[in-house]
Copies of this chain bind each other. A is one copy, B any other.
């Protein structure tokens, strides 16, 4: 819930958009239900769902992407999805390259395991798709091949980010938002 409130306060989940989840154990996660303003989500807006992906009546259509991440690595403890404008702008501006490259900036050290600004982090961009099962499969295949990293973008849609727990995921969200803003502004693109 803290994740959702934090994102809401920053305007990252406009018009009832966005989804947040936290791993409960090896087979289940807690995830925000479909609809409602995530900035104000309370206990009854959160459901328990199996990461194997069996359908849940109140789950968001985008839940399969959360489940896919938990299946990809047992080290992932929380997943967040936001529609922050820097993320969407970066996803469209760098769509042709298929990735956003972040390098040479101190705040890269906010990502778990990064100890120097002399780092190059590639954030993959996927085409948006309303068929979430197909999209999940594409994401899973690509991340398995290229390495997990800490997030990916959906073009014209938003950002998925994760971490070992909710605090790390929140720190990664902040860092992505800050770094995407910075590189867009340096190119003269207002965010």
Contact = CB atoms under 8 A, between A and B. Distances in A.
A26 interface: no
Contacts of A116: 130
A119 B16 CA distance: 19
Contacts of A89: 182, 185-186
Contacts of A157: 105-106, 117
A154 B106 CA distance: 9
Interface residues of A, number: 39
Interface in A15-72: 15-17
Kindly report how many copies of this chain are found in the complex they form together.
4
A157 B109 CA distance: 11
A110 interface: yes
A147 interface: no
A189 to B, nearest CB: 6
Contacts of A178: 14-15, 83, 85
A99 interface: no
A191 interface: yes
A156 interface: yes
Given A115-B130, A117-B130, A17 B107 contact: yes
Given A85-B185, A105-B157, 10 more contacts: A14-B107, A14-B178, A15-B107, A15-B171, A83-B106, A88-B182, A117-B157, A118-B130, A189-B190, A190-B190
